[in-house]
Amino acid sequence: MHHVNSTTIETQQLRYLDTGPLGNAFTYWLTDMGADGAGPQSMRDVYIGSLMQSRDTKAGPRDQWGNVKIPRIDPLASSTKADSDGWMSIGDNEGVESYSSLLGLPIVGLQDVQAKGDLQFTLETTYIDLSCPSINTVQAKNKSVDTFTLTCPECDVNEEKFRWLRCNKLLGSPFPIDPQLLINRPPLDDPGYSEPHQIIFRSSSVNEGVSIASCTVFQRMVEAAVVCVDRACSVAKIRQSHTDHRTPNITSFDYWATRVLDMITNTNTPPEGTYQSATMGVSSSELFMCDPTSAPVQGLQAGKGDCVDDWGFTNLSSLDLSVYAARASLLLNTGIHTLMAPTAFIGNLPTNNMTLYGPPHIPAEGLHAIANKYSLAKDDAFNLPMSFESLTESNPPFLGAATNATLFRYTEVYQPDYVWVALLAISAALLACLGIAGACLRFFTIVPNIFDPVMGLTFTNPYMPTCSAPGPLDAAERLRAVSNQNVRIGRAEDGGMAMGIAFGEVSQVTPLR
């Protein structure tokens, strides 16, 4: 006998953060229309908290709260061969920059389902990617250290010129591309509708001047296969999304995510009324850019490498361009996740009513799932119908896309080895047969102990002349010798004189009277 797992396969529906069109529209509603462009200051603290995670956590497949992080697909594409379905396996972790964000995707109900067994499921998501062709350094007019600033000059200007159509393209169908609304705007073939924008990163150093990086921003739509074993989940493989075919050149920064740039910029802004010199220095974001494995505290990184001088000030121009782009995109995606679901990452998400997270959908079709109810074809990205507010009435942590997870329940049972079972059965049968045969032979061969009484009654007995000495000693032969004789206990006489009582043949003793 040995232990084996009996496997039962079930299907469980999960909900996860929608970063597609519906998720963007929902976030725009909350940050612009629903909050007049304002957001809780604590969102900034969530962002800073993500930078303070341990080195192993930042380089691992899950964030501090167990949310699954999404790897970047571009580094894999250059080093991993895809299978026939486009999947690329995730190998050994190569560092913090291997992932798209410091925060994973919150998944509703995952903890409860994990407790039942192992899981396999796929999810689709979108993340920001950067291409930074160069980093320029200019001399500052003074030696002061300015705030780390992030801007997107093209994102907020010319809203009436390009932004309306770009955001409708970002959200996709069913938002219309109405030619009537192109009046007094450039024609549809104008490059301003389709070319990617740039984000400007500006960082000052005491001695090296101001480093300026102009990075082109893209969005990547991917599908990730997640495997959960022993309550630990990670992405096992990834591929380009087969359902989301939107252009990569138009991103959330065209729509609402410039607030992410403001939030990251303001992490180093001293609170109003605070003495300026008490908070001067480099920001935690800059320190992360220099060394993502260390705590982003200025004194701790002083003198570590070319990026941080002995005083703890940064020189981001010393970074390799690909490293700069990867770390900068990490900051942007972390900020986007923070604004899209600021309360969701710590867990404890409601699971008793999944309709709280909107209708079940995949990210590419989220708007279609609500199109009939909200008549989106009559509106545009900046004029969402007021009925859209009903999605926020129950104060959901986020709008969640749906996926069906395969749950493997394992029950430990005893499994026999059938070869040994057969040998055991045969051996038991043989032993039983031998036991029965032995009992039968014992029954048929047992005889009483007749040697002592036969010898005592017949040996040298003058009243048993047939078998008296010197007859045979064997009891059986003596019995055969007297087998035809009648014997009795009687009175022995000698010459008519009574001698006593004896055992003898009938002819030798007289009856007792």
Asked if pLDDT for residue 282 goes beyond 90, the answer is: no
Question: Quick check: 239 and 88 in contact, CB under 8 A?
Answer: yes
Q: Are strands 107-108 and 400-415 parallel, antiparallel or unpaired?
A: unpaired
What is the rounded distance in angstroms from the CA atom of residue 111 to the CA atom of residue 346?
Answer: 12
* One-character DSSP codes across 415-436: E--HHHHHHHHHHHHHHHHHHH
Average pLDDT over residues 223-246: 95
Question: Quick check: 241 and 364 in contact, CB under 8 A?
Answer: yes
Task: Give pLDDT, residue 220.
Answer: 97
What is the rounded distance in angstroms from the CA atom of residue 498 to the CA atom of residue 100?
Answer: 130
Q: What is the pLDDT of residues 437-456, one digit of tens each?
A: 988 887 776 655 555 677 67
Question: Which residues are paired to 407 by β-bridges?
Answer: 10, 119
Residue 474 makes CB contacts below 8 A (sequence gap 6+) with none
Question: Which residues are paired to 229 by β-bridges?
Answer: 232
Task: Give pLDDT, residue 151.
Answer: 93
Task: Give pLDDT, residue 294.
Answer: 83
pTM of the predicted protein model:
0.79
What is the rounded distance in angstroms from the CA atom of residue 147 to the CA atom of residue 202?
Answer: 8
Cα 283 to the center of its chain, rounded Å? 34
Question: Quick check: 123 and 13 in contact, CB under 8 A?
Answer: no
Average pLDDT over residues 415-441: 90
Alpha helix segments (H runs only) across 446-487: 451-458, 475-481
Average pLDDT over residues 226-252: 95
Residue of 177, 173, 200, 197 whose CA lies nearest to 249: 197
Q: What is the pLDDT of residues 65-79, one digit of tens each?
A: 999 999 999 988 888
- For the chain, the distance separating the N- and C-terminal CA atoms, rounded to the nearest angstrom, is 79
| Between residues 133 and 206, the one the model is more confident about | 133
Q: What is the pLDDT of residues 500-509, one digit of tens each?
A: 888 888 888 8
Residue entry with tokens 């169908």: 173
Give the gyration radius of the chain's Cα atoms: 47
Asked if pLDDT for residue 124 goes beyond 60, the answer is: yes
Question: Quick check: 154 and 250 in contact, CB under 8 A?
Answer: no
Show the tokens assigned to 257: 């995510």
Average pLDDT over residues 381-388: 76
Stretch among 149-163, 173-187, 421-435 having the lowest mean pLDDT: 173-187
Task: Give pLDDT, residue 239.
Answer: 97
Residue 269 makes CB contacts below 8 A (sequence gap 6+) with 147
Task: Give pLDDT, residue 71.
Answer: 96
Task: Give pLDDT, residue 303.
Answer: 53
Q: What is the mean pLDDT of the chain?
A: 84
Q: What is the pLDDT of residues 285-339, one digit of tens each?
A: 998 998 898 888 876 665 566 687 766 678 888 899 999 999 999 999 999 999 9
Asked if pLDDT for residue 274 goes beyond 60, the answer is: no
Task: Give pLDDT, residue 361.
Answer: 94
| Between residues 267 and 329, the one the model is more confident about | 329
* Most confident listed range (141-155, 187-201, 306-320): 187-201
